[in-house]
């Protein structure tokens, strides 16, 4: 039975409400298996532990007995209690197609939300949630970290730190902010972020159910249209243009092009001058926005004319 389940373990995300210009979201309810769109993958870490106990399926244990969204969850074994001396992980590998715009508002940052239900020996057996921006070379435990503010407090903030040990007694919500993390680890469009969910047990076997998750939700936030009064002028030429346009950039700058308030092109500058063809663009007025690694934003209007 286990083997059969894992044959289907490679899942794809699907987007619920991608809004052009600012955000992209995805959810996992572990029930729908939509056509892959390449945004994210989830997999058991069998390098760390060949007998990784995480499974996707319907929970059938004394305490962990039902999904939040029927019928499946991701759980430390759908049937058996977790074994002693075990460390098992699953990893979400997400390609952040909109990037994580670091000066995002504190109450609307890039974030991960989800629901958990735990039944374990208090403190001695527990879950962790870690993040890596360097393909898994270094991990930061968001539950114990003191460097980045993963659970900021503010008037409109609703971030919730999960307690992944003991008895939660019910499904509980957690919400993690990636705003401060992204300020120190720039996540540009196309970068991949790894999230690792671990469960660790000590040597005492007490036949508890373990940990399960359901209904993950993640949101990217990218560079929106800036307030014209707060940005510097971007140098571009020629303007009006019919063929090629040149932008003054820094290598690594994010570049976005808007028309009628919608972002139509994004990219990352490789040189100190970025050139691109506008030959196929509809004549009209476009807004070009760049953001540097230090967060500085520049913008300019570009008028595209019909080529003669
Ligand atoms: Ca579900
Ligand atoms: Ca134990």
What are the chain's domains?
2-221 (2.60.120.260), 228-304 (2.60.40.10)
Phi, psi of 93, deg, nearest 5: -110, 110
b (16+ CB within 10 A) / e for 281-294? beeeebbbbbbeee
Distance, CA 120 to ligand 2 centroid (Å)? 7
Neighbours of 159 (CB within 10 A): 20
Is residue 265 within 8 Å of residue 251, measured between CB atoms? no
Residue-level pLDDT at 20: 33
Tell me the C-alpha to C-alpha distance, in Å, between residue 162 and each of 276, 290, 308.
Answer: 46, 36, 61
**Which residues, listed in sequence order, are joined to residue 298 by a DSSP beta bridge?**
232, 290
Written as tens digits, the pLDDT of the chain (308 aa) is 333 333 222 222 222 222 334 456 677 888 876 433 345 678 889 999 999 999 999 999 999 999 999 999 999 999 999 999 999 999 988 877 666 765 566 777 888 999 999 999 999 999 999 999 988 999 999 999 999 999 999 888 889 999 999 999 999 999 999 988 887 787 776 678 899 999 999 999 999 999 999 999 887 765 555 555 667 888 999 999 999 999 998 887 778 888 876 767 777 788 888 888 898 899 999 988 887 766 677 888 999 998 77
- Rounded CA-CA distance 54/18 in Å is 30
Distance, CA 94 to ligand 2 centroid (Å)? 32
Protein residues with C-beta less than 5 angstroms from the ion ligand 1: 29-31, 67, 69, 72, 214
**What is the gyration radius of the CA atoms in the chain, in angstroms?**
23
Distance, CA 153 to ligand 1 centroid (Å)? 29
Nearest ligand to the C-alpha of residue 122?
Answer: 2
Residue-level pLDDT at 6: 30
Tokens for 204, please give them. Answer: 């005492």
Is residue 254 within 8 Å of residue 224, measured between CB atoms? no
| CA end-to-end span of the chain | 67
Neighbours of 277 (CB within 10 A): 10
- Rounded CA-CA distance 93/96 in Å is 9
- Rounded CA-CA distance 134/254 in Å is 19
């Amino acid at each position: 039975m286990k083997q059969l389940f894992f044959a289907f373990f490679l899942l794809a995300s699907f987007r619920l409400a991608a809004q052009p210009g600012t955000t992209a979201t995805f959810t996992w309810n572990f029930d729908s298996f939509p056509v892959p769109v390449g945004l994210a993958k989830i997999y058991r870490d069998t390098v760390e532990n060949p007998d990784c106990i995480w499974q996707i399926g319907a929970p059938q244990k004394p305490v962990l007995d039902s999904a939040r969204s029927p019928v499946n969850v991701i759980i430390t074994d759908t049937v058996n209690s977790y074994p002693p001396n075990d460390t098992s992980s699953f990893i979400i590998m997400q390609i952040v197609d909109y990037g994580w715009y670091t000066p995002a508002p504190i109450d609307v940052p890039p974030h991960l939300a989800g629901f958990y239900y735990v039944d374990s020996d208090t403190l001695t057996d527990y879950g962790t949630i870690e993040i890596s921006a360097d393909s898994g070379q270094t991990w930061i435990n968001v539950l114990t970290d003191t460097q980045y503010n993963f659970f900021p407090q503010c008037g409109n903030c609703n971030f919730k730190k999960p307690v992944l040990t003991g008895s939660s007694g019910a499904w509980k919500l957690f919400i993690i902010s990636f705003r401060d993390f992204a300020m120190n680890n720039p996540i540009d469009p196309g970068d991949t972020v790894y999230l690792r969910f671990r469960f660790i047990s000590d040597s005492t076997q007490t036949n508890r159910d373990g940990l399960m998750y359901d209904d993950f939700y993640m949101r990217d936030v990218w560079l929106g249209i800036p307030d014209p009064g707060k940005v510097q002028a971007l140098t571009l030429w020629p303007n009006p243009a019919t063929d090629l346009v040149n932008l003054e950039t820094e290598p690594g700058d994010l570049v976005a092009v808007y028309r009628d308030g919608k972002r139509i092109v994004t990219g990352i500058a490789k040189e100190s001058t970025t050139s691109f063809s506008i030959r196929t663009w509809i004549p009209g007025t476009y807004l070009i926005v760049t953001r540097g690694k230090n967060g500085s934003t520049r913008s300019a209007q570009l008028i595209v004319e019909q080529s003669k």
